Each structure stands twice: as structure tokens, then as C-alpha cells.
Amino acid sequence: MKIEPIDLPARPELADAARALLIDAARTDGVDAFSEQFLLGLADARLGHRHILALDEGRLLGLAACDGSSCELAVAPDARRRGVATALLAELGGRDVWAHGNLPAARSLADGLGRTMTRRLLVMAVEGEALQEVARFEPRADVEALDLAESVERFGRDAVEEAWLSANNEAFSWHPEQGGWDRARLARAQEADWFAEEDVLFLWAAGEPVMAGFHWTKWHTEEDPAFGEVYVVGLASAFRGRGLGDPLLRLGLAHMAGKGAGRVILYVEAENEPAVRVYRNLGFAIVEEHAVWSQS
């Protein structure tokens, strides 16, 4: 077995092999080993991801991918318990590594290598009657709800996207993945094949081109029936403390229920206990978790 760095965007045949391995691993584990950005990074050189492959006579046994802050890792199901993951982790050194699903095998490996869990990301879901109960948006006199296309028609794309970025970066100044976005990053996000302008919802200050908050929803069609996701939701700093968080969340839930969603998921940091408590009170339950394991 040979461990070597390879530029996957420049090697489409190996990028295809990586996707096949990830599909096989997800089928075995019941959870995707790579998140959306790392999947995109297999082919998109603009993301600047570093890829390390474990190869045996040309066959891909496993791979790791890293961005500026963390790494993700996957091993082919029939190549496990052969030291592939250990070899890839050794090549990564002290870099933080995600374990999606935080499965027992991943926890055991990380513990055995002296790593410590430093971040937990929860997946919560609401469905059926509980979803229908909370998917009710009541209009307010102080704000107006418009989707992205409607907002662009009224205010112009530049003004809308700058206001969107400002609200996002204020809401997520602390967040390693969602904070610090610019127009180029936003443009890349809108290139996703699932992106639809009707699924990005804004609350605007009544009568003014001032964004109070946004609720970016995501429509998942990879399963049947399709389901929705609270993809990103945030309030601009000037509009916090005005009771807009609940209606902003319900705005997106109502939109997804209106599209026929019988289930909606969201991701939330486990340490954000107030948010977890709010979601529980709305009927969301924890269905999955992801973890970052760091070198002690």
C-alpha cells in the first residue's frame, strides 16, 4: 500500500474512483463520509482542497481530504482493518478530522490514536404532524418576506447579495465554515445543482431595502420522498432581540411544507444548548451526530 498526495481535480479518473468508494462506504455505514464541500472539492480546484490517497497496485483503498481547517476520511469497506485509516491519519499529522455519524469504529480508532472529540454537530429532524404544526408563518407589519428572485427584482442583485453576505457574516462570525463569506464564495454556493432561488427566503424591514434575516432552505431529492433542510438561517445584528428568530424559522418550514416535505432536518452545534432546546420544543429530535477528533 502506498500513501501519496494527489491533485484529484487534475485526475478525473481518480476523482471518479473516489466518488465510487464514497458511495460504497455510505451504503455500508448508513452515513456519508464526506460533506458537500468535500465532495465538490474532488473536482473543483477553486476550493483548494488537499487530497491524500491510499493505493494498492492502482486500486483506491481510502482517501483523505483537507481544507484550511479540517479533514475528512473514508476507507473502502472491503479494505478496512488493514491499517488504511491509521496510515492516512498518520499522514495528516495533527490535523482535525471529521467522523461523520461518529460511528463506533471511528470513535475506537480515534481513541486508540490519542485523539479527543472537540466538536459535535447534531442532525435534528421533525416530520409528520409535528412538522405541520410548526410550519406556520404569521406575517408581521414590521417585516416583509420575499424570496431571492423577488428580492433581486425589487432591489437588484448586487444590493441583495451584499445585504445577504452582511447578515450571514454577522450571524456566523464565530463559525469556521459559514463565517467570513464573500461574493465569490456565495457564487460558488449557488452553483450547486440543488440550488433554487425560490428556496432562499428573506425578511426585509418594511418599506426599506434593509435585510433583517434570511432562511436558506435546501430541497433533497436523493431520497424518495424528497425532504427539506434548514440549510442556513441567520439574523442581522441590528434585528436581534426583536422576536424575529421564530418567525424566520417558521417562514422556511412553511415554505418546505408547502412544497410537500413530510420531513425537515437541520444541523446544529451540540454546545449551542439554547438552540437545541428551541428546536426540541418545536418537535425536532436528534437523529444523527458528527464529530471532530483532534490530536491531544
- The binding site consists of 36, 73-75, 81-86, 177, 218, 229, 233-235, 240-246, 267, 272-277
Cell numbers placing 153: 427584482
pLDDT of residue 98: 98
Give the integer Cα–Cα distance in Å for 199 and 187: 16
Residue 288 · residue 31 · CB < 8 Å: yes
Spell out the residues 6+ positions from residue 82 whose beta carbon is closer than 8 angstroms to its own. Answer: 1, 61
- Which residue carries 490514536 as its cell? 113
Q: Which CATH class is domain 2-113?
A: alpha beta
The pLDDT assigned to 246 comes to 95
Per-residue pLDDT, 173: 86
Q: What ranges do the domains of the chain cover?
A: 2-113, 124-288
Binding site membership for acetyl-CoA: which residues?
73-75, 81-86, 233-235, 240-246, 272-277
User: Other CB atoms closer than 10 Å to residue 246's CB: what's the count?
Assistant: 13
Residue 223 confidence (pLDDT)? 86
Q: How many residues are listed for the chain in this entry?
A: 296
Return d(Cα 47, Cα 29) in angstroms, integer.
Answer: 27
Which residues does 39 contact at the CB level (< 8 Å), separation at least 6? Answer: 19, 22, 32
pLDDT at 228: 98
Determine the topology of domain 124-288 in CATH.
Aminopeptidase (3.40.630)
Place of cell 432552505: 217
What does residue 107 show for φ and ψ, rounded to 5 degrees? -65, -40
Q: At 261, phi and psi to the nearest 5?
A: -65, 130
Angstrom distance (rounded) from CA 183 to CA 100 = 29
Burial class (CB in 10 A: 0-12, 13-18, 19+), 55: middle
Work out whether the CA dihedral 15, 19, 20, 24 comes out positive or negative.
positive
Could you say which residues of the chain have pLDDT below 50?
Answer: none
Pseudo-torsion of CA 172, 177, 178, 184, nearest 10°? 130
The CA–CA distances, whole Å, from 158 to 73, 105, 152, 235, 274 equal: 38, 47, 8, 19, 34
Secondary structure percentages of the chain, helix, strand, coil, to 5? 40, 30, 30
Domains 2-113 and 124-288 share a fold: yes
CB atoms closer than 10 angstroms to residue 121:
19
